[in-house]
Homo-oligomer: A and B are copies of this chain.
Amino acid sequence: MKNFTSVYDIDNLQKIIAKALKIKENPLGNTTKGKGKTIGLVFLNSSLRTRLSSQTAAQNLGLNVLVLNAAQEAWNMEFADGTVMKGDTVEHIKDAIEVLNQYCDIIAVRCFAGMKNKEDDVNESILSQFLKHAKVPVISLESATRHPLQSLADCITITENWTENRKPKVVLTWAPHIKPIAQAVGNSFTEWMQQMDVDFVITNPKGYDLDKNFTKDTPVIHNQDEALKNADFVYVKNWSSFDDYAKVLEVEDDWMLTNEKLALTNQAKVMHCLPVRRNLELSDEVMDGDNSIIYQQAKNRIFSAQVVFSEILDELDKPQKSQKK
C-alpha cells in the first residue's frame, strides 16, 4: 500500500479486515514497528474520532506523532497554483507539503470539501496537491469526496456483527440536516460496500442522488420504507445535494430514522459515523437503543487506522526501489 485515499488502494479487502480484527485482539502486539519513524497528522478541519483514533493507532505502533492543526497553529494556506499571493494567504499548500516531506515518513491529512465550487471538490483540489507533492505515503483522514478510514472501520464493524450464512442487506439511508454537508461519507461507504459481499442499496429523497461515479450500479431507491424492508444494517447519514451542488433541498417526508421505521427492517443494526445531530438525523430512541452499533464503529476507527499505518510501514521497509520516497 503506497497511499491510502480510497478502497482502490487495497489489494484484498477481506484480508485487511481480518488483519484489523487480529490487531483488535492485541493492539499492543507490535509496539516497535514504527520506531524511529514519524507520522504527521495534518488537520485542515475539525476532528474528534479521527484525531484520537489516529493518534492511538500510531502510538500503538510506536510511531512518533506530529499533530498540526494547520489553520490555528500554522499559516493561512493558499491552494491555487500560480497565484500572486498578495491577499490573505501566507503559505502555499505545496510548500507546506514539501516541508512535511522533510519531517515525516508518512503524511495523513484531513481536508474537507469546500462546498462552494463543485469542480474543486470533485477534483479533490487539496488532496490532489498532497498526492502530487508528497514524497512520502499519503493517508486520507477524510477528503472532499471520501472518508476511507471510516469506511474501513465500517467494514470491520459489519464483519464483526454478521455471523449468518447469507449475504446481509445493507441500506445507506439519507437523513435530514439543516446545513450543507459533504457527500464524502456517503460516497465512500458506497464504494466500500460495492467491494463487500453484501446486498447494498441506497435510499435518499429525489434530488439527493450521490455522484454516479460512486453509486455506479448500486440501486438508489427514493422510497425509504421500501428500502428499509429486511435490512440487516442501516447506515444513517446526511449529505447535501450533489446535482444542485451543496444545496439543502426541501424534503416532504420525514426521513429521520425512528424505532417505527426500524420495525420495517430485519432488526437491523444501526450505524452512523458521528458526529450526529440527535433528533434531527437520528432519534434518541435509536441512538440509545439496542440496535445501535455506532460506538463500536467509533472504536474500530483505531483498528482501521492501525492496519493501514501498519501496511504503509511494511511498504516503507521494502527495498528502496519499490518506495515512493
Contact = CB atoms under 8 A, between A and B. Distances in A.
Contacts of A101: 295
Contact of A103 (B52, B100, B276, B280): B52
Interface in A75-104: 75, 78, 82-86, 89-92, 95-96, 98-103
A277 B70 CA distance: 17
A123 interface: no
Interface string A284-308: 1001000000110011001000000
A294 B49 CA distance: 35
A257 to B, nearest CB: 14
B64 A56 contact: yes
Contacts of A102: 295, 298-299, 302
A216 to B, nearest CB: 31
A275 interface: yes
B302 A83 contact: no
Interface stretch (A3-11, A36-44, A225-233, A259-267): A36-44
Interface string A36-76: 10101001001111011101100100001010111011110
A46 B74 CA distance: 5
- Nearest 3 pairs between A and B by C-beta? A91-B275, A102-B299, A85-B277
A249 interface: no
A38 B52 CA distance: 11
Chain A binding surface, main DSSP class = mixed
A269 B279 CA distance: 54
Given A84-B280, A90-B277, A103-B53, A64 B59 contact: yes
A55 B51 contact: no
B28 A52 contact: no
Contacts of A278: 78, 83-85, 92, 95
Nearest to A59: B64
B279 A83 contact: yes
Given A68-B51, A85-B278, A91-B276, A75 B46 contact: yes
Contacts of A279: 82-85
Interface string A99-118: 11111000000000000000
Contacts of A68: 48, 51-52
A103 to B, nearest CB: 5
Given A64-B56, A279-B85, A51 B73 contact: yes
B52 A40 contact: yes
A66 B60 CA distance: 13
A276 to B, nearest CB: 6
